[in-house]
Amino acid sequence: MNVDLMKNLKSQGTWRLFFFIMVTLTIYYGHYIKRQSRWINEAIADENEKLSSNLVNGILVLGYLNAASSIASALYKEGLLILLLGVAHYAWITCLCVWSVVAGRKVNTLNSAEEGSDTWFNAFWGMFFTPLYFNFKVNQLNQKLSISSAT
Q: Which pLDDT tens digit goes with each residue over 63-92?
A: 999 898 888 888 887 888 888 888 989 999
Convert the pLDDT of each residue in 124-137 to its tens digit.
Answer: 999 999 899 999 99
pLDDT category of residue 19 using cuts at 50, 70 and 90: very high
CB neighbours of residue 44 within 10 Å: 15
C-beta separation of 106 from 90 below 8 A: no
Q: What is the pLDDT of residue 83?
A: 84
Q: What is the pLDDT of residue 151?
A: 66
Encode the chain in three state secondary structure: CCHHHHHHHCCCCHHHHHHHHHHCCCHHHHHHHHHHHHHHHHHCCCHHHCCCHHHHHHHHHHHHHHHHHHHHHHHCCCCHHHHHHHHHHHHHHHHHHHHHHHHHHHHHHHCCCCCCCCCCCCHHHHHHHHHHHHHHHHHHHHHHHHHHHHC
Q: Output phi, psi for 138, to 5 deg.
A: -60, -45
